[in-house]
Each structure stands twice: as structure tokens, then as C-alpha cells.
A = this chain, B = another copy of it.
């Protein structure tokens, strides 16, 4: 069994996610699910954007959307079709201030896309652009932010996990849970997911 600081940090992260999930607003989650399902039914494209580790979490979700049969694309990759009115942008940014993410969200807005934002800060530039917000408790990499949400969750002490770790891990697990709900609502089985999984790597 893993011991030492690694174990302490893992338990802290798991405990954080546990409490954080309780703070995620069910209505916001429903809103995200319905927006995605409606977009899928109407044949809309889903675009995914995020920077750094939040971008990796966003890409992990993009892969599952692909397996679920969505038309999904990642901003910054080679295969990127145009965005049209009614398409969806899913943007992940703990601080809601990541410049390239906000720039993409502004462009998406002007093209008539709907923006789903996963962020800790609904009052951030990204949050203000979003049509659907899912507030994910976390702690951002910014030193100057007042990370009230994290204090609400883990109390006053400084967490062991550095920078955006808690936001990123919480967002990954939340989105992995959401995938199961999407499977359920779409009536898609695991073996149907597997049929859409890459087989060439």
C-alpha cells in the first residue's frame, strides 16, 4: 500500500473531489447534459478548448464524446472544421481568465455558438461569455485570486496538491461521471463505445 506524502496527497485530493462534487449545482449539470444532447440531435459540432492541464482534461472529455457519437473537435489540432451558428464550445479554465481560451470563446460567441464553461469563477471573462456554466470548485494557479471556494471545501489550511491540481482532477472525474449519464440517456453501451474507440495506436 502506498505510504508517505504520496498517500496523504492522494487522500486529500480524493476527499476534495468528494466534497467538491457535493457543491456542483445539479441544475448546471442538467443544463450541460441537455445542451450537449440537443446539439447531438441537431447534428451540431462540439468544439473543445482549454490550455495546459485543463486542456488535457478537456481533451479526455472530447475523446469520450467521440466514442459517444458526437461530432467533436479540439481547437488547435489539425482537423478543425469551421464553427457555425448553433454549434457548441466546451471551454475548461479554472480561473476563467486564460487568454487564449477567452479569445476562442469570444470568437465562438461572435459566430453564434453556444458556450459551455467549466470554471471556478462564474464572474470571470469566460464565465461572462458562457451560455451554460458549470461551477467546479477548485483552486487556480493564480496567486492573487481569492480562492474562497477551496476554503469552503477543505477548510483554512493550504492543500498539499499544488496549483490547479484540485480543479483539474475534480473536472476530470466530474466529466467522467457525466459521460456515464450521457451513455445512459443515449442508450449507448460500453461495447458500442468500444466500437468507436481508436484501434490504430
- For this chain, the copies found in one complex come to 4
A156 close to chain B: CB less than 8 A = no
Q: Which residue of B lies closest to A74 (CB)?
A: B78
Using A56-B59, A56-B60, A59-B56 as known contacts, say yes or no to A3 and B26 having CB atoms under 8 A apart. yes
Interfacial residues of chain A within 154-201, with CB under 8 A of chain B in the complex? 158, 160-163, 165, 168-169, 172-174, 176-181, 183-184, 190-191, 193-201
Interfacial residues of chain A within 56-83, with CB under 8 A of chain B in the complex? 56-57, 59-60, 62-64, 66-67, 72-83
Q: Chain B contacts of A62 at CB under 8 A?
A: 78-79
Using A2-B24, A6-B177 as known contacts, say yes or no to A72 and B79 having CB atoms under 8 A apart. yes
Query: Bound state CA distance, A170 and B173, in angstroms?
Result: 10
Interface pair A6/B180, CB less than 8 Å apart: yes
Query: Bound state CA distance, A80 and B201, in angstroms?
Result: 9
Using A107-B99, A143-B194 as known contacts, say yes or no to A176 and B80 having CB atoms under 8 A apart. no
Q: How many chain A residues touch the partner (CB < 8 A)?
A: 91
Using A24-B2, A26-B3 as known contacts, say yes or no to A183 and B198 having CB atoms under 8 A apart. no
Query: Bound state CA distance, A166 and B195, in angstroms?
Result: 19
Interface pair A200/B108, CB less than 8 Å apart: yes
Q: A74-B77, A81-B196 known; 7 other A-B pairs, CB under 8 Å?
A: A10-B17, A14-B173, A52-B80, A56-B56, A161-B179, A162-B183, A169-B173
